[in-house]
Structures are given as structure tokens and as C-alpha cells.
A and B are shown apart, each in its own frame.
Chain A
Amino acid sequence: MTIISDREIATREAYGRALVELGRQNNNVVVLDADLAKSTQTIRFAKEFPDRFFDVGIAEANMIGVSAGLAACGMVVFCSSFAIFATQRVLNQIFQSIAYTNLNVKIAASHAGITVGEDGATHQSIDDISIIRSVPNMTIIVPADAHEAYEATFAAANFEGPVYLRLSRMATPVVTPPGKPFEIGKAITLREGKDITIAACGIMVYEALGAAEKLSGLGVEAEVINFNTIKPFDRETLVESLIKTRAALSVEEHSIIGGLGSAVAECICEEFPVAMSRMGIRDQFGQSGKPADLLRQYQLTSEDIAKEALRLLETRRKANEIYEISASTKSDFGALESEVDGGMSDENSN
């Protein structure tokens, strides 16, 4: 049994709780927010350590710069906003003042993904991983649940350098054991299987585990890996799994462009080519709605994942059939080439 608790806690809340404990342990921990302290849960730290909490107001760019200045003087800095504002709005500030300088700033971005819900597309961050992944020196952590978020906050504080910590608004079930120290860069296999590898991150890990249960009922054993660190990406764990399963399905509450799916695809094409499919937001904007309805709308439920896994396995089977037929048939390349040329010139003449 992988799902160890039904008690649902949001990762942002775990982050807020962890900050308070961090504040007690380390006087150099400072926290900033841009008028969203209640939402991002930094309010917990603010109440206990008002002298080390700075609300910069609705001025995210300044917050990133101030964070850099604090870090340059030896502080361990956590700054928070909604993921959409903590990335898109301040990318150049992150690039120059935090990443290029390699300063000890942790950007803890809450309300990531479409499950922000009713606020709609303007508040739904579906490209933050993609954006930050392309910036050198940045480490990206996406906790799967509250336990991981709590431990990841400590791991980020102990890690020297800039970190992007992606957190969610809605309460989600706990899928990882409590109290396990977070190891940056090490993916965790939550369920073993031989037929397909499901690589998931964030709140999608829970859905992936649900999909694996459903697949198991159909005789398909899926291996579920929690990629709680997107960068650096744990290629070793992925390839080890792919050697067994030879099929990969990535699932993320994020655009399929540039996020976990892209990291998986890059690894596969460079290291161990196998059949693959990506699940996520398919190059479109979000919309208002209840989080659960949005997950259904964008086909990110456990049912959708199970269906996609079956589709991928079927596609691979068909492809293998064609491959086997073509491999066993001695091709007449000359005839094939002239056929292709003929077809092309026909097309050109139109």
C-alpha cells in the first residue's frame, strides 16, 4: 500500500510550518513575501519572527532583488509569491540577481498549476518549471505531498544556492512516509512494476499511484516514480526503470513543454530510447473552475493516466509489429526512393 494517509494537507501549509521550525533553528533565516503571506503561508513565520519577515508589498521584482541583497550578506532567504508571479513576472531578476550570482535564495512559489482553480488562467502557473529549468544554477523541487514539502523546505535551507520550490494551493493526500529526509536530486520509486514507468511530480504523484492501482486490475504493472526534483534530473533512476519497462509516461500539472515531460524525453532520447508519452497541459491556457473539475477537464485524473498508459502500450505494440515486419522484409530501397521522390514532385507541382 503506497497511500499511507488520507489526511489531506496542502504543500504550501507544510512549507509554512517548516519555515517556523527553520526560524527557530537558524537565526539567519529570513522570509519575504509580496502581499500574499496568508496564501503562501509565510504568515506563520511572520507571526513568530516579525523582525526577520519582510512584506515588500505588491512588488515582486523588488522582492527578488532584496532577497539577493540579503543572501549576499549571509542570510538564508526564502521569498514567496504565487508561482505565476514568482517566475514569469520576475524572470530577469531571477536570472541576473539570483542565478547568475548563485546566491542563497529559495523561491518558494505556491499556487502552482491549474489547481489554483477559480481565479483562472491569469493566476494559473503552467510554465514555471519550464521557465526556471532553462536558467543555469537553478535547482527545482516539486514536493508530492505535505511530508515532502516539509522536508524539502529544510533540504532547500541546507543547500547552498538558489532553489525553486513549487507548491500547491489545494490540500492533497499524503503519499510519502513522514519524517524521511529529503534528498535533492534523488527520485523515489513509490511503486514497482515491470510494464510501464510512470514519471510524475507534485500532486500528480497521487493520481499516478491511483492509475497504477487501476492498471494492476487490468494486469498491467506500472512502476511509479516520484520525480520530486526536476533539476538536477535523476536520469539514473529513470533509466534503471526503463531497462525493465521500456515505456515511459510523464504526468505533470504543468505544460508538456519544458517541464518534467521534457526532462524525461531528453533523458530518453539521449540515453535510452523507448516509447514515451507526455501528460500535462497541452500548450494552452487554463480557465476558471473547481480544481477537481479542472483536473478532469485537462485529463489529469488517475483514470486518464491509466487510459493513456494503455494507449501508449498499444501504440508500442503496433509499432513493434510494423518494425518486426519491416525488419524481416528485405526492402527494395531503390523502388522506395523513387516512390518517395515521385510523391514529392507531385506535391511540388500542385
Chain B
Amino acid sequence: MPFSRIVYKPEYDELEKKALIIRKNIVKMIAKAQSGHPGGSLSCVDILTSLYFRILRISPKHPKDPERDRFILSKGHAAPALYATLAETGFIPYEWLDDLRKIGSPLQGHPDMKKVPGVEMSTGSLGQGLSVGVGMALSAKILESGYRVFVLLGDGECQEGQVWEAAMSASHYKLTNIVAIIDRNGLQIDGCTEDVMGVSPLGAKWKAFGWTVIEVDGHDFLELIPALEAISYTSKPTAIIANTVKGKGVCFMENNVDWHGKAPKPDQLEEALKGFEGVEFVESDEVEVDSSN
């Protein structure tokens, strides 16, 4: 019986490295701030990496280009993931990450569009991002512009009624240029999402609200990127249910609800960083390149 192995395309291998850097920076900055939300930040890293390095038509040189794609982090507590990604893409200097959640810092506990280039919407109070995305997508239609709007929501966040008001309006207005990505990590502050207030069947709900639904492994670039690239932007709004692991990449945080909003102590930071060092990359020349996708 052959051993299981992960096969990366060379370009996906590159993304793995980006995601690893982002994860390291998330843990470091939360540890330094001694405040923040590691669990839900780590769960969405691969989604953000896919978007920022493969999908979004954006440029750090022109953060206000009217034709740019828009990304809204509706689950604003995952701000460290967004900040680390914005640093990696060149929207903000790395040094800013040092001051997360500190007084006077542009990197507020939750994203502030007035303070951080590349942040399209101030978020934090859950349930509001998709509505804003609907407004942005409507603008594109009015202005006959080709930009697209991506909104990242938490699965727990889908308990907010406003999410469904927004979902209803997106299909009502035939917004084909909006994509909702649900970071389905299955946990929220008080426990398992399905125990606190079940949102299942999530895909069926979005479908019933008139959206095209795609379900993917939210940590697998081989699924995430083809799914994002395959969006047709022609008939309906698109929802991507990305199945993820809360705290992904830090073994003691994975699937542990305690790490929703807790900062690692120095020894825990060390343990986390050691864990990252253990991640090995398959060198591209060793990889069976599957070019059929």
C-alpha cells in the first residue's frame, strides 16, 4: 500500500510558504500584544492567502484604485490574519505588526478602514460585512465597473439575522459579482457552533437564499484556488463554504475553543513557533506536478 502524500503544484508550494509566514506573524503579534484572537485568525489564513496572492485584483501601490476588487473581513476579530496578510502583500509595513492593539496604533483590535491601507471596511461587530459587500457590489453595477466583492464570514457569525437579510438582498438584486466565503471552523466563543446555535445545513441555507454554493477544504489550496477561479460571476452570487480548523497550524490551539480570544504566553509562543519549524515543504522538483487542473 503506498503512503499518502500531499502533492503540491510548485505555485501552491509557494503559497504554503506565504501562509506559514502569515501564521507565524499572527501568533507573534498576538503574543506581543498579549491580546487578540488566534483561533479564528489561524483558521482563515489559507483563505486569505488564496485571495491576496492569487485572486484579488489589487495593488498596494494603488490601494484606492476605483476598479480594485474589494475584500471585507466581516469576522473582524480575525484582524491579525488580515494585518499579517496586508504586510505580506506590501500594503502596510511589517513594523506595524509590532504595535497590534496598542494605543495610537493603526492596527486596532478590529480592522479600521480609516487607519489601515487595504482595509476596505471597519468591522468587528459581527453580521454587518455582507450587507456592506452588497452595497459595494451594487455600486459596481451602477457604475458599470468590473470589480468583484469578497466577504469573509465566520460560521458562528451566520447566526446573526442581518447576514440573511444581506444574503436575500444579494440574490434579489442579482449580484453576480459578490462572493461570500464562510470560514466553517465549527467553533465560537461559547463552544461548538452546532451546540450553541446550529447553523447546519449551511450550504442548503445559502442555496435556498439564491446563491451558488461550493464546499471546499479551507486549508487546501488545490481546492480553494480552483474553486475561487471557477466562479462564473454570471448567474448568481456565490457562497464558498470553506471547512477549516480553528487554530490551524498550532497543535495546542487546533479545535480548542479556549483559543478563540486568548494570547499565548512566552513559552506557548515558543512552542507554537517550534511547531511551525517542523513543517516541511516538499521541494518542487520532488513533486509530481499535476498540470491537468
Residues of A within 8 A of B (CB): 30, 51-52, 54, 56-57, 59, 61-75, 92-93, 95-97, 100-102
Closest to A58 in B: B165
Please indicate the chain A residues that have their CB under 8 angstroms from the CB of B124 in the complex. Answer: 96
- Tell me if B138 and A54 are in contact (CB < 8 A): yes
**How far apart are the CA atoms of A97 and B120 in the complex, in Å?**
11
Known interface pairs A93-B162, A97-B131, A102-B114; A69-B168 also in contact (CB < 8 Å): no
Contact flags (1/0) for B121-138 with A, using CB distance below 8 Å? 111110111111111111
- Tell me if B161 and A70 are in contact (CB < 8 A): no
**How far apart are the CA atoms of A282 and B239 in the complex, in Å?**
49
- Tell me if A68 and B132 are in contact (CB < 8 A): yes
- Tell me if A68 and B142 are in contact (CB < 8 A): no
Please indicate the chain B residues that have their CB under 8 angstroms from the CB of A72 in the complex. Answer: 113, 120-121, 132, 135-136, 139
Known interface pairs A57-B169, A65-B166; A70-B138 also in contact (CB < 8 Å): yes
Task: Say whether B1 faces chain A, with CB atoms less than 8 Å apart.
Answer: no
How near does chain B come to A60, taking the closest CB pair, in angstroms?
9
Tell me which of B123, B128, B139 contacts A75 (CB under 8 A): B139
- Tell me if B162 and A66 are in contact (CB < 8 A): no
How near does chain A come to B25, taking the closest CB pair, in angstroms?
26
Please indicate the chain B residues that have their CB under 8 angstroms from the CB of A52 in the complex. Answer: 142
- Tell me if A56 and B113 are in contact (CB < 8 A): no
- Tell me if B132 and A54 are in contact (CB < 8 A): no
**How far apart are the CA atoms of A51 and B141 in the complex, in Å?**
10
Tell me which of B113, B122, B132, B142 contacts A66 (CB under 8 A): B132
- Tell me if A65 and B134 are in contact (CB < 8 A): yes
How near does chain B come to A267, taking the closest CB pair, in angstroms?
29
Known interface pairs A73-B143, A92-B125; A97-B169 also in contact (CB < 8 Å): no
How near does chain B come to A149, taking the closest CB pair, in angstroms?
26
Please indicate the chain A residues that have their CB under 8 angstroms from the CB of B133 in the complex. Answer: 69
Known: A68-B135, A93-B162. 15 other contacts (CB 8 A): A52-B142, A56-B169, A57-B165, A57-B168, A57-B172, A61-B165, A62-B134, A65-B128, A66-B132, A68-B121, A69-B136, A69-B137, A72-B136, A72-B139, A95-B125
Please indicate the chain B residues that have their CB under 8 angstroms from the CB of A56 in the complex. Answer: 165, 169
- Tell me if B135 and A96 are in contact (CB < 8 A): no
How near does chain B come to A85, taking the closest CB pair, in angstroms?
13
The 4 closest A-B pairs by CB, nearest first: A69-B135, A65-B131, A73-B139, A62-B165
How near does chain B come to A206, taking the closest CB pair, in angstroms?
38
- Tell me if B122 and A73 are in contact (CB < 8 A): no
**How far apart are the CA atoms of A101 and B129 in the complex, in Å?**
13
How near does chain B come to A56, taking the closest CB pair, in angstroms?
6
A sample of 27 cross-chain residue pairs with beta-carbon separation below 8 angstroms, ordered by A number, consists of: A57-B165, A59-B162, A61-B127, A61-B162, A61-B165, A62-B134, A62-B168, A64-B131, A65-B132, A65-B134, A68-B131, A69-B131, A69-B135, A69-B138, A69-B149, A72-B120, A72-B139, A73-B66, A74-B66, A74-B139, A75-B142, A96-B123, A96-B128, A97-B121, A97-B131, A100-B112, A101-B121
Task: Say whether B173 faces chain A, with CB atoms less than 8 Å apart.
Answer: yes
Tell me which of A59, A70, A100, A101 contacts B136 (CB under 8 A): A70
Task: Say whether B7 faces chain A, with CB atoms less than 8 Å apart.
Answer: no
- Tell me if A67 and B135 are in contact (CB < 8 A): yes
Residue of B66, B120, B134, B173 most packed against chain A (CB within 10 A): B134
- Tell me if B136 and A62 are in contact (CB < 8 A): no
Please indicate the chain A residues that have their CB under 8 angstroms from the CB of B122 in the complex. Answer: 96-97, 100-101
Task: Say whether B140 faces chain A, with CB atoms less than 8 Å apart.
Answer: yes
Contact flags (1/0) for B211-231 with A, using CB distance below 8 Å? 000000000000000000000
**How far apart are the CA atoms of A95 and B114 in the complex, in Å?**
14
Please indicate the chain B residues that have their CB under 8 angstroms from the CB of A96 in the complex. Answer: 122-125, 128
Tell me which of A59, A64, A65, A93 contacts B168 (CB under 8 A): A59
Please indicate the chain A residues that have their CB under 8 angstroms from the CB of B162 in the complex. Answer: 59, 61-62, 65, 93
**How far apart are the CA atoms of A30 and B142 in the complex, in Å?**
10
Contact flags (1/0) for B152-177 with A, using CB distance below 8 Å? 00000000011001101100110000
**How far apart are the CA atoms of A282 and B139 in the complex, in Å?**
44
Please indicate the chain A residues that have their CB under 8 angstroms from the CB of B172 in the complex. Answer: 57
Please indicate the chain A residues that have their CB under 8 angstroms from the CB of B136 in the complex. Answer: 69-70, 72-73
**How far apart are the CA atoms of A68 and B131 in the complex, in Å?**
8
Please indicate the chain B residues that have their CB under 8 angstroms from the CB of A97 in the complex. Answer: 121-122, 128, 131-132
- Tell me if B121 and A66 are in contact (CB < 8 A): no
How near does chain A come to B159, taking the closest CB pair, in angstroms?
14
Closest to A77 in B: B135
- Tell me if B131 and A66 are in contact (CB < 8 A): yes
**How far apart are the CA atoms of A96 and B126 in the complex, in Å?**
10
Q: Which of B55-79 contact A (CB under 8 A)?
A: 66
- Tell me if B166 and A62 are in contact (CB < 8 A): yes
Tell me which of B113, B143, B165 contacts A59 (CB under 8 A): B165
